[in-house]
């Protein structure tokens, strides 16, 4: 299947993905430690991106050109937060100064103290994006509480341009250019690497009309079963070798 027509911003490529085949699986996630399997169609992924983008703008007051620090492991919410940030026009960073922080339970303690100066959003990384069981430190936003009140559609009042930074030193146009580095168009990638470590794990699925299976806490014994069940066509599994 051919790649989508050339687009230069993340919101544009996501809309083309929806027009091409909204019902197809886009994001699949396995955690061999918990037994979780989560799958998002293109439509469901776009809804999560829209809700999260609205949270970033309407609740956290972030604006195009800002920086969002995302400290999450390989997980289905990682491409959601990345996509939401790029929809708003934010630059996603994994360290250094930022206008807001997104963290998981493992890094909550490290970032809770930042809530006095910048917004901090924490995700419990539970299935279905559910809330933390225990109260969070003062000032920390619980993603699993606040995201559900956000709308399923988001239209930025100041849309990103192709020259806006998506990652440090990488514009939105450059991010979306060169699909097919990890998987051929129309393919299905099995990977242990998150999209902020290698953006191609997400971008290839979008621009190449394919999909990605992200795999956390991988048990090598389950590899052949996943390949068969998910019908993957390419692998990027540095954590297994």
Report, in this order, helix, strand and coil percent for the chain, each rounded to 5: 40, 20, 40
Pick from 73, 98, 87: nearest CA to 168: 98
Q: In sequence order, which residues have a C-beta less than 8 Å from that of residue 185 and are 6 or more positions away?
A: 1, 2, 3, 179, 208, 209, 210
Pick from 31, 74, 26, 29: nearest CA to 49: 26
- Residue 184 CA to residue 63 CA, distance in Å, equals 35
β-pair type (170-171, 165-167): antiparallel
Q: What is the pLDDT at residue 29?
A: 98
> What would the two tokens of residue 225 be?
């079963």
Helix 200-207 × helix 77-88 angle, to 10°: 70
Is the Cβ–Cβ distance between 172 and 10 less than 8 Å? yes
Q: pLDDT tens string for the chain (241 positions)?
A: 444 556 789 999 999 999 999 999 999 999 999 999 999 999 999 999 999 999 999 999 999 999 999 999 999 999 999 999 999 999 999 999 999 999 999 999 999 999 999 999 999 999 889 999 999 999 999 999 999 999 999 999 999 999 999 999 999 999 998 656 899 999 999 999 999 999 999 999 999 999 999 999 999 999 999 999 999 999 999 988 7
Is the Cβ–Cβ distance between 42 and 26 less than 8 Å? yes
Class for the domain spanning 10-240: alpha beta
Q: What is the pLDDT at residue 239?
A: 82
Is the Cβ–Cβ distance between 48 and 101 less than 8 Å? no
Q: What is the pLDDT at residue 2?
A: 47
Q: Name the strands in the sheet holding 188-191, side by side, starting at the edge strand that comes first in the sequence.
A: 36-41, 25-31, 211-216, 188-191, 234-236
Q: What is the pLDDT at residue 117?
A: 97
Q: In sequence order, which residues have a C-beta less than 8 Å from that of residue 146 and are 6 or more positions away?
A: 55, 59, 121
pTM of the model: 0.96
> What are residue 213's phi and psi, to 5 degrees?
-110, 110
- Residue 169 CA to residue 172 CA, distance in Å, equals 10
């Amino acid at each position: 299947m051919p790649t989508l027509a050339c687009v230069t911003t993340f919101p544009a490529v996501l809309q083309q993905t929806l027009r091409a085949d909204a019902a197809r699986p886009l994001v699949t996630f396995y955690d061999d430690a918990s037994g979780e399997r989560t799958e998002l169609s293109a439509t469901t992924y776009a809804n999560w991106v829209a809700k999260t983008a609205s949270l970033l703008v309407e609740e956290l007051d972030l604006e195009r050109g800002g920086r969002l620090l995302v400290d999450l492991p390989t997980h289905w919410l990682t491409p959601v937060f990345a996509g939401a940030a790029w929809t708003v026009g934010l630059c996603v960073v994994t360290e250094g100064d930022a206008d807001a922080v997104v963290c998981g339970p493992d890094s909550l303690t490290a970032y809770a103290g930042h809530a006095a100066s910048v917004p901090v959003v924490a995700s419990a990384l539970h299935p279905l994006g559910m809330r933390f069981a225990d109260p969070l430190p003062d000032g920390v936003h619980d993603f699993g509480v606040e995201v559900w009140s956000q709308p399923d559609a988001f239209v930025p009042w100041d849309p990103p341009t192709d020259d806006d930074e998506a990652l440090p030193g990488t514009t939105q146009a450059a991010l979306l250019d060169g699909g097919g580095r990890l998987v051929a168009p129309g393919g299905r990638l099995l990977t242990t690497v998150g999209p902020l470590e290698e953006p191609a794990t997400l971008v290839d699925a979008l621009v190449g009309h394919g999909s990605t299976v992200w795999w956390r806490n991988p048990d090598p014994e389950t590899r052949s079963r996943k390949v068969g069940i998910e019908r993957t066509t390419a692998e990027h599994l540095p954590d297994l070798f």
